[in-house]
Structure 1
Amino acid sequence: MSVFSRGNASRSRLRTVIGGIAVAGVSALVLAGCSGGGGTADPSTSSGPSEELTLKIGTVLPQTGSLAFLGPPEEAGVQLAVNEVNEAGAGITVDATFGDSGDADNKAFETTVPKLQSEGVSAMIGAASSGVSKLFLDSNVSEGIITFSPANTSPDFTTWDDNNLYWRTAPSDLLQGEVLGNLVAEDGHKNIAIIYQNDAYGTGLYGVVKEVFEASGGTVVADASYNDGDTSFDAQVATVTAANPDAIVLITFDQFATIAPLLVNAGQSAENFYLVDGNLKQWGTDVSVSLEGAKGTTPGPVLADDFQERLNDAWTAEGNSDLEDFSYAAESYDAVILLALASLAAGSTDAADIAEKLQEVSGGSGDGEKCDSFEACAEIINGGGVADYDGYSGGVAFDDAGDPTEATIGIFQYKADNTHERIN
């Protein structure tokens, strides 16, 4: 695993200035670097705030749509964090309402977001899709509600005018795109094609992969885009196969299940496919051709076995079947823990007050005592100290833009049964 360092990247929210981002090639990446009112915390006691806080949050995560495979691990992460905060008895209780984001095509968020706003939540966890978050973020900002995504990766959010109310535990695609572009080059490919979804996620990731791969001396010989909701991809496949690439990068969501067989039938070898977090799924028999040898990237560190077990237990306790995937579960868990810690540190459940403490409790301010669980961090806060939470998604350490400066990009490879395993 290689190390990547970045200085704090500030942006013009309403109170910061734009900073810089330095990039470097790596294979697996580590970065160093008006809702309800609330009670008032009493830092002189270790028994928690003088008034018990009740933090209301909601989720806007994909129960349906083209990213529905990410819904279970993300909701499991939220559920586990809620359970553990509430069991800690540290002076704060989290009240969570789960809702569907859908995607930009079925627009389930148009029902979920107004409902959560009317219920007076301080924060919404979601969406998974950058394109969906863009469609309701401004509304939440106007309502004074935090939008905290565990999976948004579009670079656009770094400079969004959000009044300090947008945060994410997933790293920008400036990072995933760099890792993927370098991976393709390191594997010896010289002439590649890219099929990508024409939205904030797809175009952003496409641009970075293209730039990084071409900087390595390679050539993007063809590219083709499609729109979310499209069901026919014959034209895109014809465009890229005509250029005879030696590898194909597929920046898609579930559309991959349709596109992959078309490419194989057109003479392309799946071992030269490169996937991204939006389609890096345990496909099994859901894809009709062999994916053996295909590779892909997704943000997130290796998860400890006990954490995966706790996630699965929390998920199945709600009447669900076992988790098949754990993508963005850690980022979802950490989002809730950080919100609860920030609320506790502020002694308030007001969204603006919580937002003012999020960078601090993540370690982004450079102050604080390291801790790796809600209970341990809450003890520090309730004792009058400053907590620096290191979570299951990494150290986080938010910069002024609400982006994590400590994160990991994993590399995966598909086996003969069309399931993937982490290789770096």
Structure 2
Amino acid sequence: FLGPPEVAGVDAAIADINSAGGVLGQPLQKIDGDSGDATTTIAAQTVDAQIKQGVSAIIGAAQSAVSLSVIKTTTAAGVVLFSPANTSSELSDTAITKGLYFRTVAPDTFQGAVLAALAQADGAKNVAIMALTDVYTTGLADDVTKNFEVAGGTVAVRVNYDPTPASYTAGVAKVKAADPDALILIGFSESKGVIQQLQAQGIGPQKLTLFLCDGQMSNALAVGLPSGLMNGVKGTIPGVQASEKLRAQMLATNPNLTDFAYGPESYDATVLVALAAEAAQSTKGADIAAQIPAVSAQGNEPCSKFAECVALLKAGQAISYVGPSGATGIKANGDPSYATMTIWQFGPDNTIAPIDSIAADVPTS
């Protein structure tokens, strides 16, 4: 469910950029490619093909593990990799990213703190944590554990599981035996199988308070589940809710969209790459990378539209682009200095809606 809104966000940005004259006087071109997931080599094949076609930057991937699987290839080629959705803290390490990786969402240091605080605010004191075995999910589980315990809570049991029915059954049994007052489940679409097993073992979301993260928090997760089963379940999604204006732009590129998560972040990733190219007067990846922190730096002349920002650059002004995502101050390690986390909740009809958001400086550890 992450792919379509991300693509739509990129397409909306390209339309705005090209209507303003393109980048360095030329239309911004897009080459579509599938990133697959961490269990396939699709991303590697896509990246190889795109590099051969001479791309300056790649917007993606959706999953942190996928970005980590191709980062050596993109950095060796001098190509910028800019994700609107990766949150793994590993990607904050410039020894890995070589200064050629960026993101418009905060790393899991932020989501871990917010998710732990959300559980505690709802009365959880002794939680179970289940996490899919994956670099993103286990890393986020570590951050949640640390923040929950620092705030005085206890973790009754921590279970890492594989995406197989047998693993769901065994993992849920361990959770049930630990008798927690809440479960924090960290995974992707396979989490539906875990939720079904929770229900089968008598500790479904209406019996055991359940919290989710961005990898699962979507309308797609509840499709096929019993009516009302997910009612009241809360979760976090890094980034902001897309504005009505941006939703309209995204729907113009894909009328079938039902989720808009990471659309604003995808839009901004695209605009930041284009503005960095304008600032560098170059389409080389290394030159673009050097300017991404500069065009988003806090304290410069603010601008929110590509055309407005380019005009300021041409007038010799240092700019601070602040677009739909609100992410600002992209640092040399690729992380934003300031970002937003939105809290969503399932309603009686098993669909999600935003109930709160937290905009703050991004913690570094």
TM-score (norm 2): 0.92
Match of 2:301 in 1: 369
Q: Distance in 1 between the 2:136 and 2:164 partners? A: 16
Alignment of 1:177-216 (within 5 A): 177-216=112-151
Shift of 1:284: 4.2
Deviation digits for residues 80-104 of structure 1 (CA, Å, limit 9, x no counterpart): 1111111111524211111110101
Match of 1:299 in 2: 238
Shift of 1:189: 1.1
Shift of 1:106: 2.8
Q: Distance in 2 between the 1:334 and 1:130 partners? A: 18
Q: Which amino acid aligns with 1:383?
A: A
Contact 2:275/2:295 (<8 A) preserved: yes
Q: Distance in 1 between the 2:94 and 2:52 partners? A: 24
Q: Which amino acid aligns with 1:336?
A: T
Unaligned runs of 5+ in 2: 357-365
TM-score (norm 1): 0.80
Q: Which amino acid aligns with 1:76?
A: A
Shift of 1:295: 0.5
Shift of 1:280: 0.2
Secondary structure class of the residue paired with 1:408: strand
Contact 2:242/2:261 (<8 A) preserved: no
Q: Distance in 2 between the 1:106 and 1:395 partners? A: 31
Q: How many residues align?
A: 348
Match of 2:329 in 1: 397
Contact 1:284/1:417 (<8 A) preserved: no
Q: Distance in 1 between the 2:327 and 2:36 partners? A: 30
Match of 1:286 in 2: 224
Match of 2:21 in 1: 89
Contact 1:85/1:92 (<8 A) preserved: no
Q: Normalized per residue, which structure has more helix? A: 2
Deviation digits for residues 376-397 of structure 1 (CA, Å, limit 9, x no counterpart): 1111112232221001111421
Q: Distance in 2 between the 1:123 and 1:375 partners? A: 20
Contact 2:6/2:261 (<8 A) preserved: yes
Q: Distance in 1 between the 2:263 and 2:75 partners? A: 25
Shift of 1:399: 1.7
Match of 1:112 in 2: 46
Q: Give the stretch that moved more between structures: 119-128 or 267-276.
A: 267-276
Q: Distance in 2 between the 1:396 and 1:70 partners? A: 22
Partner of residue 266 from structure 1, selected from 198, 201, 205: 201
Contact 1:361/1:387 (<8 A) preserved: yes
Shift of 1:264: 1.6
Contact 2:105/2:327 (<8 A) preserved: no
Poorly superposed stretches of 4+, deviation over 3 Å: 229-232
Alignment of 1:20-99 (within 5 A): 69-89=1-21, 91-99=25-33
Identity over aligned pairs, percent: 39
Secondary structure class of the residue paired with 1:342: helix
Q: Note the aligned Cα RMSD (angstroms).
A: 1.4
Contact 1:92/1:344 (<8 A) preserved: no
Deviation digits for residues 201-231 of structure 1 (CA, Å, limit 9, x no counterpart): 011110111111112222111121123x534
1:122 aligns with 2:56: yes
Match of 2:186 in 1: 251
Q: Distance in 2 between the 1:231 and 1:137 partners? A: 31
Secondary structure class of the residue paired with 2:350: coil
Contact 1:338/1:389 (<8 A) preserved: yes
Match of 1:314 in 2: 253
Contact 2:132/2:187 (<8 A) preserved: yes
Shift of 1:235: 0.8
Secondary structure class of the residue paired with 1:391: coil
Given the superposition, is the C-alpha separation of residues 231 and 106 from structure 1 closer, same or farther in structure 2, using an over 3 Å criterion? farther
Unaligned runs of 5+ in 1: 1-68
Deviation digits for residues 150-180 of structure 1 (CA, Å, limit 9, x no counterpart): 1110111111323211111110010001000
Shift of 1:314: 2.0
Partner of residue 230 from structure 1, selected from 150, 160, 164: 164
Q: Distance in 2 between the 1:193 and 1:371 partners? A: 44
Shift of 1:246: 1.1
Q: Distance in 2 between the 1:97 and 1:230 partners? A: 34
Match of 2:363 in 1: none
Q: Distance in 1 between the 2:302 and 2:103 partners? A: 20
Shift of 1:353: 0.8
Secondary structure class of the residue paired with 1:209: helix
